[in-house]
Amino acid sequence: MKRILCPKCDNYITFDETKYSEGQSLVFVCEHCKKQFSIRIGKAKLKATRKEEVLDEQANSQDCGSVVVVENVFGYKQVLPLHEGDNVIGRRNKGTDVDVSIETADPSMDRRHCIINVKRNKQGALVYTLRDNQSVTGTFLMNEILGDKDRVRIEEGAIITLGATTLILRAAGDVEP
């Protein structure tokens, strides 16, 4: 499978390139913005889908850990790195700059939905704190909605829900034996 960016709204469209031969023109209709456009196989810049990428949930365990996005009807599984300080998390969108940019068509996820703060304590261990970012549908931790002023400490394996999408915290240093 390959994917191509919609030139209008910057969402990915996935297709099976093995069904077509080189030089053939394909017409796509973006399901997001309904724009119609065409590409020529072999000429267009195609990116491999996330499915073909290596998705190692422990990939960033030596650094600040990762957020794992669970695959659903709106998007593929993704492993996205965290960094120290505030990590703004939201739906990937052209022109919106966030730290953890989730590639999804989930309409109930805000572009800047929630924030995970990563901080080192005096012992050098990383501390993760989750807060909502005034999102429309709210941020849920283990199925409990966070209040506006809530700052909740989260640990390895914490399950966070943004709209219809589930995220799992893979904290640094928690490599499975």
Residues that bind Zn ion (CB under 5 A): 6, 8-9, 30, 32-33, 35
Task: Work out how close the CB of 171 gets to Zn ion at its nearest, in angstroms, rounded to a whole number.
Answer: 36
Both tokens of 94, joined, read: 């052209």
Backbone angles phi and psi of 17, in degrees to 5: -70, -20
Residue with tokens 């659903």: 72
Both tokens of 37, joined, read: 């456009």
Both tokens of 110, joined, read: 């805000």
Q: What CA–CA distance (Å, rounded) separates 170 from 9?
A: 31
Residue with tokens 């572009």: 111
CB nearer to Zn ion: pick between 12 and 128: 12
The answer for residues whose C-beta is within 8 angstroms of residue 34's C-beta and 6 or more apart is none
Task: Work out how close the CB of 142 gets to Zn ion at its nearest, in angstroms, rounded to a whole number.
Answer: 34
CB nearer to Zn ion: pick between 91 and 170: 91
CB nearer to Zn ion: pick between 74 and 128: 74
CB nearer to Zn ion: pick between 35 and 77: 35
Task: Work out how close the CB of 78 gets to Zn ion at its nearest, in angstroms, rounded to a whole number.
Answer: 20
Residue among 153, 164, 71, 75 nearest 113 (CA): 164
Task: Work out how close the CB of 27 gets to Zn ion at its nearest, in angstroms, rounded to a whole number.
Answer: 14
CB nearer to Zn ion: pick between 23 and 95: 95
Task: Work out how close the CB of 28 gets to Zn ion at its nearest, in angstroms, rounded to a whole number.
Answer: 9
